[in-house]
A and B are shown apart, each in its own frame.
Chain A
């Protein structure tokens, strides 16, 4: 008796769970495989992917990912995507190496594999889409300051550590574009070591040492928040504009107060949109991903495949009072 009851309940439960979803067959099925579900950044990327799918027409987006952000859990999802014979997998990987064997098996079975956001080692994918490039980031952080200084002015850079590779490359690239902005005078570069209190003190030092300072550029999320706080505390809102690279959620308050006119970081919506376009073009054979090839990505423009099969999407997206409320809840 109990056995039959057990059976009935378990089977009913199972059947109920399986009746949940019946996939509609589209011509091109692209899996947007993210690090983990329930993350605003990836939800936004999915919104971009859906937008691209609508533009492309015959595309079904399978937005999926593990609950735990681990490589093992992501491999289980890859296995189920291989079994479903999807046409393409666009992955933001939890581990650049551990997913490679599983993705290689996907490619052996004829599935197009690209990575975006968080990359996969070259042997595990056709190409990797970076949200931006060092050149574009360097020029963007100068442009952000210059946009609000039509008559020119003094700017200072508050970086992370003096040995931080990324920041040093960006500052190098920023210096290269300085001649394009004749009125802009880069007075100094200081280092806050990506520590909130040290960054804050360095920003205070800048405010005192350069009374005519017009802008502080911080290409680090720790530095920009500390600098904005220092400017606020010194009562210099409106005189010194803080800008650089930051997360919308951390900067929303400083945009509202006016300590920062604008800042930049990648746009997850565009990233999901572009990854979908590229996956589609490669899966349908309309494009190839050899070094030097260009692939059109709808409204975002186009990308050119560079070294190691990597490509840069666009310059960082600018956030200001007009769009901060939309993005501060996303990431």
Chain B
């Protein structure tokens, strides 16, 4: 009974795009869920519908969501990057280390981005260059990158980041609209174009569906994969800047456990964990859903463990329901 339900795989991401199929899409379902949660939250807590509350809530997920954008592309290509949270730790440690020599804010940002890119390049070289499985490589670098942070910091912390650096993680662009949120939305737009409107994005889907066929079609699979790991590294570097600025300090335990939350976000967003399909819109909506759910439950002071159970149930429900429904439909049509 190890029959896995197979949905037909199509390489172009939109063969039929009439209005009706958009309505039936995963993204439409997610939007409805998000709206339902939003309404439920508004009724459940008198504190929810407050611009400042909602603004505070966005801080809880924007950094993770920024990484999730790049993670979605990596997973669509059939790979995974579990070292992202450790890249945050290493980039943050590097920035804190540089801070001890009194560098200014633009240099700090440059260091964060550079370390992120360098870690991504390291992952990418191992995966694309040597053809190693990415799950093994990034589990290794997950320990490696964070291990270096622990070596440098031990039980100490870097603190004393300049106040103009703090703006990246605590500042507001306009009224309650934080810099983090704006940056996330801008990046989401860029990733949408990159994945759904460029040749590069098309090749990512092709690789995820069948890397061998993609190779024989003239796609430079290794190079694309290398670039995808560069992207997750870069996004982790950006997240490291935001998170470090928000916390105002660096400890080696920073962002621990985030890699699984990010993968959860991506999967909830409808990206097939085995690669080949998914969309940026889904991931963006999933990020908001997770943010709304945890914040809403937090307002009711629901214990964290109940929150984890709820997120788990939500994930399983959202993933399983369409499959179960599809099976039921198959059975009923078979009976006829």
Q: Which positions in A face B, CB cutoff 8 Å?
A: 1-3, 5-7, 9-11, 13-15, 17-21, 23, 36-38, 62, 64-68, 70-73, 75-77, 79-80, 82-85, 95-98, 100-101, 105, 109
Contacts and interface: CB of A to CB of B under 8 A. Distances in A.
Given A13-B314, A70-B256, A79-B56, A21 B321 contact: no
A167 B56 CA distance: 43
A14 B56 contact: no
Nearest to A69: B253
Interface in B10-42: 24, 28-29, 32-33, 36-37, 40-41
Contact of A83 (B56, B255, B318, B321): B56
Contact of B297 (A17, A38, A62, A84): A17
Interface residues of B, number: 63
Contacts of A82: 53, 56
Contacts of A11: 36, 40
Contact of A98 (B48, B56, B251, B317): B251
B334 interface: no
Contacts of B295: 76, 79-80, 83
A82 B52 CA distance: 9
Contacts of A23: 300-301
B140 interface: no
B300 A18 contact: yes
A76 B157 CA distance: 21
A107 B50 CA distance: 18
Interface of B: 24, 28-29, 32-33, 36-37, 40-41, 43-45, 47-48, 50, 52-53, 56-57, 59-60, 157, 159, 166, 169-170, 243, 246-249, 251, 253-258, 293-305, 307-308, 310, 313-314, 317-318, 321-322, 325-326, 329
B29 A6 contact: yes
Q: Among B45, B57, B310, find the residue whose CB has the most chain A CB atoms closer than 10 A.
A: B45
B305 A38 contact: yes
Given A6-B321, A21-B302, A83-B57, A97 B157 contact: yes
Q: Among A2, A71, A77, A85, find the residue whose CB has the most chain B CB atoms closer than 10 A.
A: A2
Nearest to B257: A68
B285 to A, nearest CB: 13
A67 B298 contact: no
A79 B57 contact: yes
10 closest A-B pairs by beta carbon, nearest first, are A80-B298, A67-B304, A2-B325, A83-B53, A97-B249, A18-B44, A98-B247, A79-B56, A11-B36, A6-B321
